[in-house]
Amino acid sequence: MVERQERRLLAWYEEYGRDLPWRRTRDPYAILVSEVMLQQTQVERVVPRYEAWLERWPTVESLAAATRAEVIRAWQGLGYNRRAVNLHLAAEIVARSGWPDDLTELPGVGRYTEDAVRRFAFHEAVLPLDTNVRRVQERTSASFSPTATHALMDLGATLCLARIPRCGYCPLAVECPSRGRRYEPLRKQSRFEGSFRQRRARILRLVAEEARPLASLDEPVVAALARDGLVAVDEGVVRLP
């Protein structure tokens, strides 16, 4: 059954798979950029930012040569700005020493991101387990080979949805034990409006525009941003590092 299900899945992907720019490259740097951007950010928002990023910094060496301030400014609007710092630090390491055997040694790179780079850049036989891939495997009670990685991601993102799967359109539904099932709402993320995250985003945006006196800013937020390497405080003035 598993081989039959994978054949169905791959046939569906051939017709309905998403055409995403990072799927047209084997460059590990470009793939790392896409994976870091896609962490907690929707695909539709990432595509234009990914293309603009690679136009500005087409190689890992060019990103490593950029200033931290340039990188943080370019990241504005993608959220979770610590990702920009980690990506810049990773680029500096790779430009200096090459890609490590263990990619999780790079800042901000965990098990999934390492597997994604190995699969999509180095074509290694690993199956990166993101939320969509896990969901499809759990609901179908099937295992799939690394060949089906992109297909699994797209099925989970477009049909095998978290709450109300679109089973009537799913190529795996005929043998899926979860067909027709509905799921409880996922735990909602805390509200952004009025949150500490919103305060962080506002202060970072102000400092990205120009250096500001510490006394004019939200000092607990500045302290948190400084711990994350997103701002520097010198003689009472807050600026990008």
Catalytically annotated residues: 35
- Give the torsion sign (CA, 210, 213, 219, 223): positive
What the block records as the tokens of 74 is: 């370019």
Residues in the chain: 241
3-state secondary structure of 105: helix
Name the region of 60 (left: φ>0; alpha: ψ -120 to 50; beta: rest). alpha
Whether residue 81 contacts residue 58, with contact meaning beta carbons closer than 8 Å, is answered with: no
CA 176 to chain centre: 29
